Amino acid sequence: MKTKKVELVMQPPEIHWVGDGFRVHNFIPGGFHLEMERMNPFILLDYNSKYYFPPSDKPKGVGVHPHRGFETVSIAYKGRVAHHDSSGGGGVIGEGDVQWMTAASGILHKEYHEKNWSKQGGDFQMVQLWVNLPAKDKMSDPKYQPITNEMMGKVQLQDNGGILEIIAGSYHGIQGAASTFTPIHLINARLNKTGNAIFDFPASYNTALLVIEGSIIVNENEMVPADNLVLFENKGEIITISALENSIVLLMSGEPLNEPIAAHGPFVMNTRQEIMQAFSDFNQGKFGYLED
């Protein structure tokens, strides 16, 4: 087993707003090497770093919008989000929870700060990932996987080092809660100061981590502060993390989808023709109806 070396440490890109409720750094697709193809199946990473929203009687968020061809994975660290879609699905993503939504053949979706949380205001911190679907599954039926923190696989680290929350994939035989179309590992490492964790991902997998809180040492030689993303080389298997202070780290590793990507706005397909078909289907109302 060899160390999976750091290829790039990426500082948070410029802020942009998604609607009026999500103040995000867009790491993927972004600058440097982080186009969709480089981290496929992780084709988008929006990170709402910790930000205080004052109390508001009108919940902030993003209105009705379509999706097709991929999954959205929303991970809540601070704050609460309510969401609804055109198939009648919906719910609330609470702190520590994950919403895994398979848009696939197409849905309309909206998401806002949860009403009671919005009235109180507070710190808001969240990650949204888009996970690409293989061509054969892009037009499958939409579905939801609401994953509460209690449902996740949990691993207590030695010497009071902290806890790992397995959202998808596995760690030392402990399985995550999410069902995925292709092999994916998605893990929250909640490390206490001086805590250590060792990860073993296949050499070929596209792998990165995002420091949500605190600061860490990666592979015993690379200090990474909060809100920075680390991209790893597609060589070697072992990653070591040591926490310089109480820290939260999101690790993602997935088998590359070696298929063409055609993306435009909220649609991610394999060909330009499929993108045009998605717009046509959306304009014809085939994604259903959802009131804004």
Tens of pLDDT, residue by residue, the chain (292 residues): 899 999 999 999 999 999 999 999 999 997 556 789 999 999 999 999 999 999 999 999 999 999 999 999 999 999 999 988 877 778 899 999 999 999 999 999 999 999 999 999 999 999 999 999 999 999 999 998 999 999 999 999 999 999 999 999 999 999 999 999 999 999 999 999 999 999 999 999 999 999 999 999 999 999 999 999 999 999 999 999 999 999 999 999 999 999 999 999 899 999 999 999 999 999 999 988 778 7
User: Is residue 266 in a domain?
Assistant: no
User: Is residue 119 in a domain?
Assistant: yes
Give the CATH number for residue 190.
Answer: 2.60.120.10
The Cα–Cα gap between 251 and 87 comes to 31
User: Is residue 56 in a domain?
Assistant: yes
Beta-carbon-side half-sphere exposure of residue 198 (alpha carbons within 13 Å) = 8
The Cα–Cα gap between 242 and 88 comes to 44
182, with CB counted inside 10 A (0-12, 13-18, 19+), is: middle
User: Is residue 278 in a domain?
Assistant: no
What domain range includes position 87?
A: 6-254
* pTM for this prediction: 0.96
User: Is residue 270 in a domain?
Assistant: no
What is the helix (H) or strand (E) element at residue 132, kind and residue range? strand 122-132
The Cα–Cα gap between 130 and 207 comes to 15
Secondary structure in 3-state letters for 29-59: CCCCCCCHHHHCCEEEEEEEEEEEECCCCCC
Look at the chain and report how many structural domains it folds into: 1
Question: Is 131 strand, coil or helix?
Answer: strand
Q: Are strands 267-269 and 262-264 parallel, antiparallel or unpaired?
A: antiparallel
User: Is residue 1 in a domain?
Assistant: no
User: Is residue 249 in a domain?
Assistant: yes
Closest CA to 45 of 226, 210, 225: 210
